[in-house]
Each structure stands twice: as C-alpha cells, then as structure tokens.
Amino acid sequence: MASIAAAAHGSEGDGSDGDGAAPYFDDTARDALHILPMAMLPVATPGLRRAKLIKNARLETVVEIFHDRQAGSGQVAAEHLASVFPGHKAELRADMLQIGKLTRLNSFDIYTLRKELRRLGIAVNDATHLRLSDKRRSELTTYMTAFTRPLMQQVYGSDDKPISDVTDILQMLANPDREEALRNLRLLSEKLKVQLTEIPAFLEDYGDVFLSLAYFRNCLDTIVPDVQRFMKWAAESRESDMVARDRNVLRMLDEVRSKLTDITTSLTGRFEAFDRRSKDFWRDISAESFRAVRQQIESHHVTIGGVLCGLAVKMALWKERFPQGGGGPQKRVEFIRSEIMPGLDHINAIERQAGAA
C-alpha cells in the first residue's frame, strides 16, 4: 500500500505514471473494454486524475493507481482509497460517490459509457473521450465496409471507391462528386423523409451506429478464438488420471465448457440478428426502419459490452499466465477454479438477460 500511496502523490507533470509507463489517458485505454481513465471525468482528488478504473479477472472493479513495466500494476479496492489519499478527504468524498456508481458497470467501453454515464448523471470533461481513437477507427474499416457497401451502392451505384478510413466514407457521401450521386442522395432524403441538408447528419449517425457494431464485432472475432483455444487447453487436463478420477473437478470442467459455449453461441447469434436487421433496412429504406435498426443495436450496447469485457479480461489473464499453453493438469484445474469460475455466472446472466429481452 505504501508504494501505491507514493505513486498516487507523485508528479502530475506529463500525464504518465513514471519512467516507461503508459500515459494515464491514451488510445489503448480509450479503446479498451475494461479500462476507464479517471482523467475523462471531473475528478476532484488530484492523484485520482492519473488513476484508472479497471476490471480484474474476477470482474471486480478496482482502482489502478499506476501501471508500468518495472513495477507492474498498483491496484486498490475503491473502498480503501481513503488510505491512499489521506489528505484529500473532502475531495475524495465527492469522487467516491461517482466511483461507487461506476464500479457497478459491467464494461467500460465507450458505447456502454455513453449510455451509462448519461443514466448515472456523470459528466465527462470532453465529449471526444467517448470516441474511438483514430487508429482504432482505421482498424475497423474492413468491418465497416459490410455496413457501408449498400450505402455506397445506393448513392454511387457501386462500392469501388478507395476507402482507407471510416471518415473517408462519411466525407465521400457528404460531398458527392457526381451529379448522379447528388440525385441519389436526393432520393435517399425523400425515402428517409429528411431534408437534403440533413443527410450529412444522418450519415454521421448511421456511421456511428455501425461503427459501434464493427467495434463489438471485432472484439468478438478476437475473443471467440481465444475462448475456443482455452476450452481445448482446459479439456486436456482430463487426460490426467488424477483429474479423471475426481468427479467434482470433471463437473467443474463440464460447467465451464457448457457456460462458455452457451455464452459465445448466444452472443454470435445476436450479431447475426443485427446483420439481418441492417439488410432489412436497405430493402425498406425509411426514417422508421433506420430508427428501428439503431434502437435494436444501441439497446444491446450495455449487455454486449458486459459480456465481451468479462470474456476479454479472463482470456487475457489466461494468455498472460500460460503464454505458451502448457501447465500441468493440477495447475490448469487450479487456474480454472480460482480465476475462470469466479464471475462466469455473472457473464452468463448478462447474456441470458439480453437473450430474454
């Protein structure tokens, strides 16, 4: 605790946590599912402005005071912050009200935060904090083309325009370079029942809705292969005679496999439903159909974020502890029992809740 307190009261000069440390509000944090930089909020306690809320592998929210290559991660439970910042009781009391609300969120991705911060009445210092970084947006261009292709075809009659970033698509559509494209935009405005001057706003809205879907889909496509590899790795422990004779362990392994399979299958099904709904929109273009597809996608942001965040932090810890796979049967079983099982029911409950909605 002493080293954490020392870091909490260190220099705030350059926005970093020390030599070799990452800045307290960088693109990695902004784009992550499990990190909330306190710098984005109106925090009163000076030392907390360098801190982050993060989800640990048990899906508990803790305050990370520092994180660097030499010292690792300095984490403290939110209820113990008073011992870290003893000289800021008044400021900390106000901050703890916010932190108490934030610890109950299941994910810290920007799309969950947009919705949940508004619901909780918590402001942000700058709206750009709730936007994906330029680097991440660029990485999602391939995913976005699936959603922008029908839009490009609607306006230009083809989708062969060179695209290097999501913003290129929006700029291209907002500033058509052909008379035919302008005529098609007028037709689009009629179908949507909006003025031609309102089309740029629609395009931005459309782009943002489907950028969120691209972001979550990319997270899913990264996490599901990890989950599949993890389940294979966990199943290998059954080859041990000691594990094979222990019914309780076998029952636990079956439970983990069953829940992870159910979660990933249900989550994948939700994305398939989004794909079908977005295609329906282009078959019946109207303001109402767009509102419907937007409402469907945005209503799932919080639950999708929660499920993906939970899976992501667990798989990240597995890869950190067993980077080359391996590990004896007992080590595998103990890791599954102590790090994978806790919180797994919570992830499953979030996904079941979304499926029942």
Pairing of strands 61-68, 72-77: antiparallel
User: Hey, what's the torsion of the CAs at 320, 322, 323, 326, to 10 degrees?
Assistant: 180
Domains of the chain are 2-131 (no CATH), 136-197 (no CATH), 211-356 (1.20.140)
Helix, strand, coil percent values for the chain (each to nearest 5): 70, 5, 25
324 CB-contact burial (10 Å; exposed 0-12 / middle 13-18 / buried 19+): exposed
Looking at residue 6, its pLDDT comes to 52
Looking at residue 321, its pLDDT comes to 95
Write out the two tokens for 327.
């590990």
SS (H, E, C) 317-336: HHHHHCECECCCHHHHHHHH
Q: Which residues are within 8 A (CB) of 154 and not within 5 positions of it... i.e. 6 or more apart?
A: 184, 188, 282, 285
Distance CA 335, CA 313 (A): 14
CA distances from 343 to 74, 184, 281, 305, 336 (A): 22, 51, 37, 15, 12
CA distances from 192 to 195, 196, 203, 321 (A): 9, 10, 11, 52
pLDDT in tens, the chain (357 residues): 555 555 555 534 344 444 344 445 688 999 999 999 999 999 999 889 889 999 998 899 999 988 877 767 789 999 989 888 887 788 898 899 999 999 999 999 999 999 999 999 999 999 989 999 999 998 998 898 888 888 888 877 766 666 666 667 667 766 777 788 888 888 888 988 889 888 888 888 888 999 999 999 999 999 999 999 999 999 999 999 999 999 999 999 999 999 999 999 999 999 999 999 998 888 888 989 999 999 999 999 999 999 999 999 999 999 999 999 999 999 999 999 999 999 999 999 999 988 665
Q: How confident is the model over 214-223, as pLDDT tens digits?
A: 999 999 999 9
Looking at residue 66, its pLDDT comes to 83
